[in-house]
Amino acid sequence: METWKKFDADGLTHSATHHLLAIEELGRQYGGWARVSDIARHLGITRGSVSISLGPLKERGLVEVDEHRMVKLSPQAQTMVDEVLAKREALERFLSQVLGLTPEQASVDSCKIEHLISPRAAERLVQFMKFIAGGDPAARELVQRFRQYEGDCPTDGNCAVCQGKCLLARLAEVPGAG
């Protein structure tokens, strides 16, 4: 199956992921249990839409809902949340410390990627961050030198990276991009 279809079939949507993240965060002080109204406030949406989102999560065995409308993550959902949070952390560090994005932009972009990136890619990313933080001076120098680097795409479209669809030239044409 094509990759983008596979995510709809067995992955979580971005919205569903953030419901689970909210339940985890709010439940920390109450033995894992979170109130529907608190989840709604936390996500800035109505209680009605939280309830609608909880339906399929309950069906998939990812959340428990008790008679007082309190919600708790299943062990499987807790594992998924922990994984997303670890991916977010590694992505934020990579985007800010290596690519040089502002913390705000790094946080926005890692939020978009955190639930989609594969375990293998995330694992290699964590290893890369450990590599550059480790004792190898060449690794540290690579990052320092890259942070100073501002390359350009050649105007003749003959670019080794972009294969004729030069991104840097494209972004330069869009006002406000970058």
**From the CB of 11, what's the least distance to Zn ion, in Å?**
13
Q: Which amino acid is at 60?
A: R
Select 111 or 143, whichever has its Cβ closest to Zn ion.
Answer: 111
Tokens of 40: 């709604």
Q: Which amino acid is at 24?
A: E
The kind and range of the H/E element at 45 are: none
Q: Which residues between 139 and 178 bind Zn ion (CB under 5 A)?
A: 153, 159, 162, 166
**From the CB of 19, what's the least distance to Zn ion, in Å?**
11
Select 116 or 126, whichever has its Cβ closest to Zn ion.
Answer: 116
How is the beta sheet containing 63-65 ordered, strand by strand? 34-35, 70-73, 63-65
Should residue 20 be labelled a site residue for Zn ion when binding is judged by CB under 5 A? no
Q: Alpha-carbon distance 91 to 109, whole Å?
A: 8
Which one among 45, 101, 111, 116 touches Zn ion, defined by CB under 5 A? 111
Q: Alpha-carbon distance 57 to 39, whole Å?
A: 14
**From the CB of 81, what's the least distance to Zn ion, in Å?**
12
Residues that bind Zn ion (CB under 5 A): 111, 153, 159, 162, 166
